[in-house]
Structure 1
Amino acid sequence: MAILVTGSTGTIGTQVLDHLKDSGAEVRALTRKPDDAQLPAGVAAVKGDLSDIDGLRTAMKDVSTLFLLAPNAADEQTQALQALGVAREAGVKGIVYLSVFMGEHYTDVPHFTSKFSAERMIEQFGLPATILRPAYFIQNDVRQKEALLKQSVYGMPIGAKGISMVDVRDIGDAAARELLRRERASERQPGETYELVGPDVVTADWVSATWSEALQRPISYGGDNLVALEARLKAVSPAWLAYDMRLMMQRYQRDGAAATAGQVKRMTLLLGRQPRSYRDFAKACAAAWAKE
């Protein structure tokens, strides 16, 4: 039997595979283009994607544990629900589903609601799943490089409430731990839910001070203009996605997405160590950029 990883060539999927590669488990990676996929040694490429039911059924054969990451697509909800359905039909004994932090509250943000709908299906059918709810990815802020270095501005309109951003390496680590726990268990395990969060509450003022320290010069916050954000995103992505991101940032500005001490502690227990910090990420970026 094997672990099947979906979203295998993306940001999170590659982290999951990296943490699984030396585990001794049989690992398969679902990908639309097996011949082009650059996978770790020992990981088998399997052709398919979540929108192809017949291909998904074939890929799910002899799979005992599934990592399910539905793409950020217009039909994300459909893809996630049908993948869960196929896994249920195939008798998969363990699922690790990548959801989102605060998904049950941000009901006006399409991709948050899509993920929470999948959580509801998992709950209703009693699927043997671990639900992982990551916060905003720390590594998203690599895209702030040009604004930080050329304009001395942090440009993402995150607002003043605060976000407990999480390092993608910690997401991959957490997912791999739960996949292996479920894969190695002799019987189906009960459901679990983890909020995947970082130790820092990142606000507009805090992030400006952190980057100022890392880059050794004053960095200002670019403001809360969501109209400008949507316009920038529409230049490089579909309009529906740009609007989705605008709605997410609107909720961050209004309500924030700060983790509780208990949620950080539970994340720490899952990893067996403290989650990585945003401050260390900023310092590492600054050091790397200085060498370019």
Structure 2
Amino acid sequence: MPDSLETAALNGSLFTFDDSPPSPARSNSSASLLNTDDELGSDLDDGPSSSKIGQRGDISGRGVPQVNSQVEHDGPQTGPKGVISDRKAHSTIQQQRKDRELQDRVMEQNRNAIVGLTVHEEDRLRKQQEEERELDEWRRRRKEQLMRKSEGDSEEEEIGGRRESVKRGGVRELDKNTFLDGVERVGWVVVLIYEPEIPRCVSLIASLLHLALNLPSPSTLSIPITLFKARATSLQFSLLPPTSSSTVQYEDEDPVGRPDPDVLPTMLVYKNGELEKNWVRVDWEVDEGGVEGLLRREGILPTVGRMGGGVNRRST
């Protein structure tokens, strides 16, 4: 009988039912010598048919499957410490994401700064464009006004508020009061600034008069041309400071300085009211062709072929 109980305890059949009595203490026997490693599970059969693991009433602990690898835990992932650690990790990730977004925005702004304009530069450019449009509009209206004035002109023109007879072959005189009205017109306007006391100015006035006598009628010219002359003292053009020994004084006028001979004669050429040429000491530019030859070289006067026979050569 004791051998049967010991055998049943050793093979596990004694623990098959929950109401089984507890196993008595094992005693030394010959059978126990054959099963000294039963607590370590060395006598378990790997075969599914012979194993009783998982049977009802098995409380030996051998019914729990063996784990091939140990489950690793890297510190406090649960409990209060785990919550604090997770919160710190989440905060770190959020901060890194914000830093990356900020860096991306800075890089984008830098790229835009390289190829784009700042707000002040765009505002300055817009104002400049508006000023250019206003200037172009003013020039357009002024040109239309000059064209209407040119079409309404007859043999008598109003210059400086007074009517003057336009004689063919004559060169009208301008002063500081009539200068703007004289040069602001459609076509070419040539103004010779001179002083009668300077000999080279006198010779150029003669050349200008010769050109005026031989100009064709305005209707035959693609761009009309008008010739004027003006005294430097009348325009107060490039005058030297007045001195007690050398002054030029007109009636009801303050004394003015004397004209600078180093800049006379000077020729100004306007086109549609805009200054195109400014020749100081124009006598250095004039050759044997006179004023006419100079204006031809500069394209102000048309060539002989385009003028239909050239400038009229009248006997004087």
**Shorter-normalised TM-score: what interval?**
under 0.3
Task: Choose between structure 1 and 2: higher helix proportion.
Answer: 1
TM-score, structure 1 length as denominator? 0.27
